[in-house]
Amino acid sequence: MTDTLRIVTVLSLLCCMLVCAGMARRRRWPFGSPWEQTVTLRFARLFAAVVEFVSTFIVGWLNVRAWHLTRVMLLWTATGGLLILTSVCISKSPAEGTDVERFILIFALVFSIIAWWQVWQLWRASLAVTRMASEPSHESVIRVVRFGPAVIDELCNIFEHTDDINARTAIVEALRQIGRESEGVLKTFHRAAHSKDALLVQTAKQALCDVYGDDSIPDKSPDGLSWL
């Protein structure tokens, strides 16, 4: 899901730049004095641009892995898209705009919808993890595994702060299944590198062996994880 976030945020920033450039010549505002119209419209464009830039920089270029921060930045991206859409609609009706302006409007709307859909997926994943921790079962593990590497951070966080043997067993099984793919095993390693929980570290080691084999551990393990 990280690659999807990167693509969405970069394209959202591009959309924001196009909208701001296309609206630079506009000074019309349906409410208030001419001074209020200009200031309000400029503020709306500036705020939308800042929101998009911050979310793009943090999620895209810094490649944030923190579960809670990823959700916050994605919400910012979605909000920025809605602000762009609103500022375009208020500035000029789409029916009165040019073909380019209508295309930009649709572009902003589409990526705002994509961002909100990603927020919905993250919320569903978080809910599935919480339910699995509270009511461990084979079915709950399967539901969590469907979300893939995106839930690794939250699984590890719950694992480190619970004493429920059944919950820890279910989380280990989920991590092992997710770790069968390369992206999942690497994210498990990065998370285990900052953990002092012996069972979590052992799970990461076993996942590495399953994916790369015992002889490949020194060569394939990520930076900073040679201790595995």
Has this prediction a pTM greater than 0.75? no
First to last CA, the chain: 26
Q: What pLDDT, on the 0 to 100 scale, is given for residue 62? A: 47
Handedness of CA 129, 194, 209, 63 (dihedral sign): positive
Blockwise average pLDDT, block size 10, the chain, 228 residues = 56 59 47 50 58 55 48 60 57 50 59 67 81 85 82 78 82 78 64 68 69 52 42
Tell me how many degrees the CA angle 75-79-84 measures, rounded to the nearest 5: 150
Q: Write the single-letter amino acid at 164.
A: D
